[in-house]
Amino acid sequence: MTSMYAILAVILFTIGLIGFLIRRNALVIFMCVELMLNAANLLFVAFSSHYGILDGQMAAFFVMVVAAAEVVIGLSIIVMISRARRSTSVDDEILLKG
């Protein structure tokens, strides 16, 4: 049964990855990152239940806290960028070109 949770987590993670790679809106990309984090959390909880140890839940808890902090910073950066560029697309201004 645990393998089902694992497969669900992997599928969610992959969806997040695909979204991360094909979407251009920085906000959506950020949401995809959250999705990937959630997939990882699911795996933590599933294994915690599988082995009967609470440490997995602990890890998921820390992931949530860190994700919250990350969202605060990431979103304020996005707000700044959208203020300066009037856009949240990651393709708009190519400044990383070699």
Partner 1 sequence: MLEVYTSIANTGLFPYAWLMVVIPAAVAGLLLICGKVTNSFGHFIATLAPIASFTFAVIYFVELLGYPEMERAVNLDFYTWIAAGSWQIDIGMLIDPLSILFVLLITGVGSIIHIYSIGYMAHDPNRRRFFAYLNLFIAAMLILVLANNYLVLFIGWEGVGLASYLLISFWQERPSAAAAGKKAFVMNRVGDLGLLMAAFTMLAMFSSTSFADVHAGAPSLSVGWATFIGFMLLLAACGKSAQVPLQAWLLDAMEGPTPVSALIHAATMVTAGVYLVVRAGVIFEQAPAAQLAVAIVGTVTLLVGAWIGCSKDDIKKVLAGSTMSQIGYMMLAAGIGPAGYAFAIFHLLTHGFFKANMFLGAGSVMHGMNDDVNMRHYGALRKLMPITFITFGIGYLAIIGFPFFAGFYSKDHIIEAAFHAQPALGVLALIGAGVTAFYMTRLMIMTFTSSSRWRKEVHPHESPAVMWIPLVLLAIGSLIGGMVLNGWIGSWLSSIGAETPEHMTWLPEITVIGGITFAVVVLGAVLAWLVFGRKPVPDEAPEKVSIFTTIGRNDLFGDAVNDYLVVKPASLLSRGVALTDEKGIDPATEGTGWLVQAIGDKVRLIQNGYVRTYGLTLAIGVVLIGLALVLSRLV
Partner 2 sequence: MNLIPMITGTDVAFWICAVLAILGGVGLVSFKKPVYSALCLALVMLSLAVIYASLGAPFLFAVQIIVYMGAVLMLFLFVIMLVGVEARDSLAETLKGHRVAVGLAAVGVLGLLTLAIMQGIVGSPIGSDGVNNAAGGNVQGLAGLIFSRYVIAFESTALLLITAAVAAMVLAHPERLTKKPSQPERAAQRLADFVESGKHPGPQPNSGVFARHNSIATPALLPDGSVAPGSVSGVIADRVTIASPEELWAPHDEMLASIEENSSESFEFESQEMIGTSTAMEELVEFIEIQDDEVPGTDEDAADTDEEEEEDA
Q: Which residues bind partner 1 (CB under 8 A)?
A: 17, 20-22, 24, 90-91, 94-98
CB atoms within 10 A of CB 26: 19
Decide: 45 and 56 in contact? Cβ < 8 Å: yes
Task: Give counts: helices (H), strands (E), the chain.
Answer: 3, 0
The long-range contacts involving 48-53, CB below 8 angstroms and separated by at least 24 positions, are 49/2, 50/2
Strands (E), the chain: none
Q: How far is the CB of 80 from partner 1 (least distance, A)?
A: 16
Residue 84 site contact among partner 1, partner 2, none (CB < 5 to 8 Å, cut-off depends on kind): none
Residue 11 site contact among partner 1, partner 2, none (CB < 5 to 8 Å, cut-off depends on kind): partner 2
Q: How far is the CB of 29 from partner 2 (least distance, A)?
A: 10
How far is 65 from 69, CA to CA, in rounded Å? 6
Residue 85 site contact among partner 1, partner 2, none (CB < 5 to 8 Å, cut-off depends on kind): none
Q: How far is the CB of 97 from partner 2 (least distance, A)?
A: 13
Residue 95 site contact among partner 2, partner 1, none (CB < 5 to 8 Å, cut-off depends on kind): partner 1
